[in-house]
A and B are shown apart, each in its own frame.
Chain A
Amino acid sequence: MKKNLIRSYVAIFVATLSVVACTKKEDNSNKILLGEYGSMTGEVANFGQSTHKGITLAQEQYNAAGGFNGKQVEVKLYDDQSKPEEAANTVTKLITQDNVVAVIGEVASSLSLVAADVAMRNKTPMLSPSSTNPDVTKKGEYIFRICFIDPFQGEVMAKFAGQNLHAKTAAIFRDVKQDYSVGLADFFKKAFEAHGGKILIDTAYQSKDSDFKAQLTEIKAKNPDVIFIPGYYNDVGLIAQQARSIGIKQPLLGGDGWDSQDLVKVGGAALENTYFSDHYAPDTTEPTAVKFIASYKAKYGNETPDAMAALGYDAFFVMMDAIKRAKSVSREDIKNALAQTKDFQGVTGKTTINAERNAVKSAVVLVVKDGKPKYFATVEP
């Protein structure tokens, strides 16, 4: 009874020692190793998987074109299961064990926030493809992103509702379970009211709910000009269907969380007359994007890339662009080069990193027409 504790501690020691014994640092002299952490499983797995597809495509194209000074680029991927503590563990592993030069990830801001701490502590540059929460890059000088941030997106949709749709009143239907949705809803509210509009009702649901009729009935009774639903596409499809079925005819608005080819699959005809802001338009004519879409479709069985894939693709090339300009793979140099990224032409438009390490770039507004999201307008920052 009394000796057991010693033995448990001996067990810990043996475990650690054996772990230490098999520690080996990767030899990265003849290749460049980037780290990627993302949700391959768990709640937001769909976004992580899309991003990974984009990154993989970019990496293959880059290596096929000769790589960096004859060195091939490898991307080491770990699954963080959409859990904050797993994100911290995997990024620690990428940085301290696999010895990557820089990290790409995550989509969900809550996971990026935790990982950003780890990256800061280890002085390793981290580039988030699509975390739109402003707090992420505030973590410090090593944290960058290549997408626009929520205040801008909220502003875009508020302006769009006022100017293009002539809306004076709006309803907000937010997803309280997702940090993304709550943040975007707040910024939309602020911007819409600043432009003289009025929010009639601000109600909420939780992702994975399947019945929204009760809240929608309430919204319908207030009769707003537009309804802003800053949720993720998997819920939006159902919300749109139920909204139309109880007779809501107003335009529905949303953010980049709507972007997925599955949106229309679930929502169907109910999504006509809906608009959402996004990072790029799938029917764009911009050459880089056209080339990307064609090669993506060729690689992944005719699947149309969503914004997550496009941002993953861009993130990889922005990173390689920085490494090229840095002419070195030291973390410090890459960080400095990333901060100086200017007018980088990617799939999602021209990227410039500003002093807050956020990307300054334009957003597009898409409209769903004949079962497909189509380009509607571009909003410059």
Chain B
Amino acid sequence: MTEFIQHIVNGLSFGAIYALIALGYTMVYGILQFINFAHGDIFMIGAYIGYYAGNALGLNDHPSIWGFFVVLLLSMVTSGVIGFLVEFLAYRPLRKAPRINVLITAVGVSLFFEFGAQMLFGANPKAFPHLVDVSKSFYIGGVQIDSMELVVFTVTILLMLALEFVLYRTKVGKAMRAVSHDHNVALLLGIPVNMIISITFVLGSAMAAAAGILVGMSYPKLEPLMGVMFGLKAFVAAVFGGIGNVRGAVVGALIMGVSEQLIVSYGVPTFRDAFAFALLIVVLIFRPKGLFGKTLAEKV
């Protein structure tokens, strides 16, 4: 039983990271109805920024909680800017184009980042610096909780609350929700649609960057291609929860993290990736709009 709970705890902390990435997918999908394939790579870039910033600040030898926040903020802001540029340069000109073109552009951007990163950062894995001292572990009734897992939970929850606040308590958030309902009507109502879309990208990218830092700290190995699998899984989680639905993405990601952990422990460990997709297919067949997605009647 303790072992089971242990797996659940580990799964939740993994799911929390998926959740941060999944938010970016779901927000962009909610507004533009397209899969931003480059999102996983923004996550990778966020982690690399953390690597360079952490080393520049000398945090590896003197870990400190303030240093961690500085690195986190720096990475989130820079990645936000990159997200903005990607949207501005690659996606905005395609606003009226067929959806498949945008999808292809997104994969093009993703490839560009992956191969660019291989050239810029080198193909060798890099060891992420220790930003805070997380060597301690706590035990609750035989269940081990690492302090790193606590950091993951805290940062994730704080960021989600912040996002909830932005989405549901501010004018920008209201505008975002309006745009996701209908671009044209939002435009008629005087909402600067393009700016709102830019903000969505900035927010999503910042979240992904935060996930990048957390992954870097939990699993201190950075690689230019690390974003691919994380991105795909997070995306599956977003669809699972009902893409376009922010809370759904979080729930989907947590379920995904836990069930992945369970399949590895009690099932066939190497079917980890296949399982994620199989789960997705089953859900989509029986509940095509995901767990929390709204089913819209088809317009004729």
- CB 8 Å contact bits of B262-273 with A (1 = contact, 0 = none): 001100011011
* CB pair A237 B264 closer than 8 Å: no
Contact at A266–B265, with CB atoms within 8 Å?
no
Contact of B146 among A204, A209, A214, A245 (CB under 8 A): A245
**In the complex the two chains form, is A214's CB within 8 Å of B115's CB?**
no
- Known interface pairs A205-B270, A208-B229. Does A214 touch B123 (Cβ–Cβ under 8 Å)? no
B164 contacts chain A at the CB level, 8 A cutoff: no
Expressed in whole angstroms, the Cα–Cα distance for A218 and B270 within the complex equals: 14
Q: How far is the CA of A214 from the CA of B271 in the complex (A)?
A: 13
B127 lies within 8 A of A214 (CB)? no
A268–B126 alpha-carbon span in the complex (Å): 12
B interface footprint on A351-381 (CB within 8 Å = 1, 0 otherwise): 0000000000000000000000000000000
Residue pair B123, A41 in contact (C-beta under 8 Å): yes
**Contacts A41-B115, A210-B219 given: A49-B123 contact, CB under 8 Å?**
yes
**Which residues from 194 to 240 on chain A have a C-beta closer than 8 Å to any C-beta of chain B?**
203-206, 208-211, 213-215, 217-218, 221, 234-235, 237-238
Give the residue among A211, A218, A234, A238 with the most B Cβ atoms within 10 A: A211
Question: Is A262 in the interface zone, CB < 8 Å from B?
Answer: yes
Q: Which of A45, A213, A218, A221 contacts B10 (CB 8 A)?
A: A213
Residues 257-289 of A contacting B (Cβ, < 8 Å): 260, 262, 265-266, 268
- Judge if A46 is at the interface, Cβ distance under 8 Å: yes
Q: How far is the CB of B290 from chain A (nearest CB, A)?
A: 24
Instruction: Give every chain B residue within 8 A of A208 (Cβ-Cβ).
Output: 223, 225-226, 229
> CA A260 – CA B3 in complex, angstroms?
34
A209 and B127 CA atoms in complex are apart in Å by: 16
Return B179 CB to nearest CB of chain A, in Å. 35
| CB within 8 Å for A266 and B272 given contacts A214-B265, A215-B264, A217-B3 | no
Partner of A211 from B14, B115, B125 at Cβ < 8 Å: B14
- Over the window 214-235 of chain B, the binary record of Cβ atoms lying under 8 Å from chain A Cβ atoms (1 yes, 0 no) is 0100111101011001000000
- How far is it, in angstroms, between the C-alpha of A305 and the C-alpha of B45 when the chains are bound? 28
Write the B119-144 contact mask toward A (1 if CB under 8 angstroms, else 0). Answer: 00001111100000000010000001
Q: List residues of B whose CB falls within 8 A of some A CB.
A: 3, 6-7, 10, 14, 115, 118, 123-127, 137, 144, 146, 215, 218-221, 223, 225-226, 229, 261, 264-265, 269-270, 272-273
